[in-house]
Structure 1
Amino acid sequence: MSRRARSVVSSVLVVLACLLAPLGVLAAWATYAIEDGSRYAATTAALASDTQVREAVASAVTDGIMREMHVGPPLQGSVHAFVHDAVRSFTGTPAFRTAWDTANLSAHDAVMRALRDNGDRPVTIDLAPAAERMKRQLTDEHVPFADRIPVAHTEVTLLRSADLTRLRKGFHVLEVAGFWLPIAAVGFALTGILVAVYRRRAVLATGLGTALGAALLVVAVAVGRRMTLEDLPADVSHAAAGAVYDALTKTLRTASWLLMALGLTVALVAWLTGMYARRRRASASPSQTPAEQPTRVQA
């Protein structure tokens, strides 16, 4: 293979490696951090202690209780504040954390089961068990009208049937890509470096390209957060939704920063070793001084 052909092949392989590296991180995060039930439970469990999430839950439950109480305007403000404080206090109890974990795991299991099956029924979750636990806790704490909280089998739709087919295809692609994309990225990078005419330059380009791809992934996560919050209904707490988004993408953001640091480190090492090699070559062949030049003998 000619030197020109080797350079072209090496450039193509390095570019592919730099493109696949951030995509591999994204696919691996979706497969191993979101799909895995135990990891998902550990991620969402911490949200039960988040101030914004607790406040959003307390406000929603308080509004539901006030709709059942039908308190007149003179007492509505004081009763609302009292109930809100009581419910807010409940969100700091182990019973709330248990109900939170149960609801999240139920939702996760329902979504994963629907994505793996071939049915076309919408994905729903029944909130009655969590509501029953909350009602019992508030009643034991003698919160006024807590025994009137309705505990109906309210089903909340998580995924519509129209969205299942599209999401199921993407889910199966991510399952495969989560394993093969990182391997392909490493394979392309190593092959591109070995084929290159100037391997140190190929290593430098691979490091910089990988760091750039990771930086774009960090930006994409930030843009995705802004777009997600902008599309929320007005009655949904943006602060609580932002806390949920940040918790779910924490592993992805950490992996992106680590990938960027790895790419920059590889590029820096390649650049420093290149400078060292050039200085060694320069010191190994010093130019001759006038005193060292041979003297011509005239006849």
Structure 2
Amino acid sequence: MAESYSRSRWTNGLFTLPYLLVFSALLVFPLGWSIWLSLHKVDLFGPGRFVGLANYARVLSDPIFLQALWNTIVFVALSVPALVALGLFLALALNRTTRLTAFLRGVFFSSSVLSVTIVTLLWRFVFIPGDGLLAVVMRQIGIEPANFLSTSGWSLFAVGVATVWWCLGLPMMLFLAALQQIPDDLYEAAALDNASPWRVLVKITLPSIARTIMLVAVIQIVLQFQLFGQAQLMTKGGPNGTSRPLVMYIYETGFVRWDVGKGAAASQFLFLIILCAALIQYVVSMRKQES
């Protein structure tokens, strides 16, 4: 009997084998290879030599890396709350069963299916100095427009606006799905108690979708820490690196300057940041399940 159970378990395990092979080929092996590269002084044209943690020390002492890390942190700190707040606002506003709301859902979600090239091209027409849409509008109201794509402080803001517009559809749809899972009995009880809309929002709606809010926040943190295409195509990291994100630093280090070991070490710092965000979400969700 025990032998039959063991054989059945191994047979069932074969169904996971294709996934495990793909997972190992696309995630486990590249991660292990990246760690190996980070411990070696290596380029794309030689075998390299073992240097231990020297690449990590070089990365941490590089002011360009520290600037790129700070740019990424600022970008995430500004874009993620905006995505969560705007996504929740749109979900609350469109949580109706009418043709108009269905149409508007499609309109707001449509930007998410565009490629990064199309998104950046559209927003370059908005932010481009002189004849850009924003410059024309600002002149019409008597304000001298700034050069948003090549001015320190504004360049990262322009990338952030384009990113929020591009990524807003996913948070909205996740919040809509969560809102539609709230039992109608709760709202009926609140209506019998003559609860105000604000009290219903604070006491019923937000607590009911708290896990979804945390999930959306973590997903967006992970995604926005990987910022690359928008900054590369809109500002090229300028001016003076003020809009260079961490992934662009890794790309320039490994594939422009051919310092693959240093680039791999920098990528491990990015991996640790994303891993910490995922662990925070896991710990918070486990605590809520226990409570």
Structure 1 length as normaliser, TM-score? 0.25
Larger Rg: 1
Structure 2 length as normaliser, TM-score? 0.26
Query: Counting helix residues as a fraction of each chain, which structure ranks higher?
Result: 1
